[in-house]
Amino acid sequence: MKQAKVRWSKLLMCVIALAFTFAGYSCVDDNKLPEVQTYQVKVQLAYTEGYAPREGVSVKLKNAVTNTISEQFTDATGTAAFEAIAGVYEVSVSETRTIGLNKIVFNGTKSGIIVTTAWDAAATATVPLVESKTNQLVIKELYNGGCQKDDGSGSFTGDQYVILYNNSDQPASLENLAFGYLFPNTSQGSNNFYVNGTLYYEAQGWLPAGYAIWAFRENVTLAPGEQLVVAIQGAVNNTLTYSNSINFANPAYYAMYDPEIFAHATAYPAPAEVIPASHYLKAYKFANVTSTAWALSVTSPAFIIFRTEGITPGEFAVDMDRIVLNGTSASQAGRKVPVEWVVDGIEIYAKGNAANKKRLTSTIDGGYMELTNAQGHTLYRNVDKEATEAIASNAGKLVEGYAADPSGIDAEASIKNGAYIIYKDTNNSTNDFHERSKASLRN
């Protein structure tokens, strides 16, 4: 028995000694953590002909796995340098220049940059920049994700809307203006328009609008700083059933309502009586489309507004020379919308989905937004802080402290104070929008 106690005592001493030994190593490790290997990644901006690089342009490098974003600024040659760990990266750039009376926007993205131990520090990732001009009419807010039902049984998504805004100092005509969304309807859906990792229609100068479009029945003109609300579905007082939803019973609102074309009664109940019939938009289906509703995605649409040139929206919808299919089925018919017709667009990704792919090209939207759907959230355009604060009549009317907007200005509260808001428009939704936790029409 005594010998056993001696053996256990010796064993215990050994364990304690080992513990101190490892503790010593642990202390050494804490003081001398292994260095993380980083690699220099150079990014070169390639401008369109006639434009020289500028110093100080923001370039962002996003890790596709961790979603962490690093920012660096270009030197005089248009080059930005990053220190990055091994991984897969995406570069994004957005720059705005004012030349005379025009605002020129440069957007560019480059994905699939793979950094490994074989990375060549002398290599440069070249990002071609696409030039575009901003328009006087912008999408101020898009609400497509729905809200929670009062009884907690799920979500209600039949109350979508979009708000257009005249962001200029001149009247804006909406003649021949149309609303559409692109194939595929969701960002994570199978995308047949990619060839070797590139949207083949970008080089051809068009976008694939799917299924149908909507247009105004008569010309509408917006004054500077005026907005126009269009109910995409459910143009009634939805708050009578779902308190978190939207009340569209307003004579100033417009409604996508054309039961002869889209007869889905749940999506398109007869609009509130106060909305005049002249405010009902007209739907135009594309060839062989049999759907009973214009089903804008509740998670991740690519939404556009465009103005047909030389033809009406109705004539465009039946122009078989512009037909494009999403796959091989005639029921998946779309139309090629020339890029130069597009007035504004917003790309929305399914939140946290690795299969997301861009549909809008860089001249229309060089970025994307993610939306938390089914919670009553919207995507709302950021305030152009410098331009808005420069308006003398806004003195004392701007409401500050709104953290969701990078400008810090609460646009809706400021408008109620009589302020005149200029919204940010860089043709890059990552920079131009934020996720609003409450729809502005519920304020």
In angstroms, the Cα distances linking 39 to 36, 69, 87, 281, 401 are: 10, 16, 10, 55, 39
Q: Is the pLDDT of residue 13 over 50?
A: no
pLDDT band for 26, please (50, 70, 90 cuts).
Answer: very low
Question: What was the pLDDT predicted at 97?
Answer: 83
Question: What was the pLDDT predicted at 154?
Answer: 97
pLDDT average, residue stretch 219-224: 95
Phi-psi region at 64: left, alpha or beta (left = phi > 0; alpha = psi -120 to 50): alpha
Question: What was the pLDDT predicted at 11?
Answer: 43
Which residue type, as a one-letter code, is found at position 215?
A: A
Residue 257 or 26, more confident = 257
Average pLDDT, the chain: 91
| Closest listed residue to residue 286, CA positions, set 260, 317, 245, 252 | 317
Which residue type, as a one-letter code, is found at position 220?
A: V
C-alpha–C-alpha distance, residues 359 and 347, integer Å: 7
Q: Is the pLDDT of residue 347 over 90?
A: yes
pLDDT average, residue stretch 325-335: 90
8 A C-beta contact, residue 229 and residue 254 = yes
Question: What was the pLDDT predicted at 10?
Answer: 47
Report the range of poorest mean pLDDT among 42-46, 53-57, 97-101, 263-267: 97-101
pLDDT digits (tens, 9 = 90+) for 100-151: 545 788 999 999 999 999 999 888 999 999 888 778 999 999 999 999 999 9
pLDDT average, residue stretch 6-17: 43
N-to-C CA span, the chain: 82
Question: What was the pLDDT predicted at 30?
Answer: 55
In order of their start, the domains of the chain are: 39-133 (2.60.40.10), 137-357 (no CATH)
pLDDT average, residue stretch 308-314: 97
pLDDT average, residue stretch 35-57: 93
Question: What was the pLDDT predicted at 104?
Answer: 85
Question: What was the pLDDT predicted at 15?
Answer: 38
Q: Is the pLDDT of residue 52 over 90?
A: yes
pLDDT average, residue stretch 284-296: 95
Q: Is the pLDDT of residue 363 over 70?
A: yes
Residue 308 or 327, more confident = 308
Question: What was the pLDDT predicted at 34?
Answer: 67
pLDDT average, residue stretch 62-89: 95
Preceding peptide of 184 cis, ω within 30°:
yes
pLDDT band for 99, please (50, 70, 90 cuts).
Answer: low
| Closest listed residue to residue 377, CA positions, set 276, 186, 246, 253 | 246
Does the reported pTM lie above 0.75? yes
pLDDT average, residue stretch 200-228: 97
In angstroms, the Cα distances linking 42 to 32, 67, 75, 94 are: 30, 19, 11, 17
| Closest listed residue to residue 102, CA positions, set 172, 173, 168 | 168
pLDDT average, residue stretch 160-183: 95
Q: Is the pLDDT of residue 397 over 80?
A: yes
Question: What was the pLDDT predicted at 6?
Answer: 42
Residue 233 or 330, more confident = 233
Question: What was the pLDDT predicted at 330?
Answer: 85
**For the chain, percent of residues with pLDDT exceeding 90:** 84
Question: What was the pLDDT predicted at 193?
Answer: 96
**For the chain, percent of residues with pLDDT exceeding 70:** 91
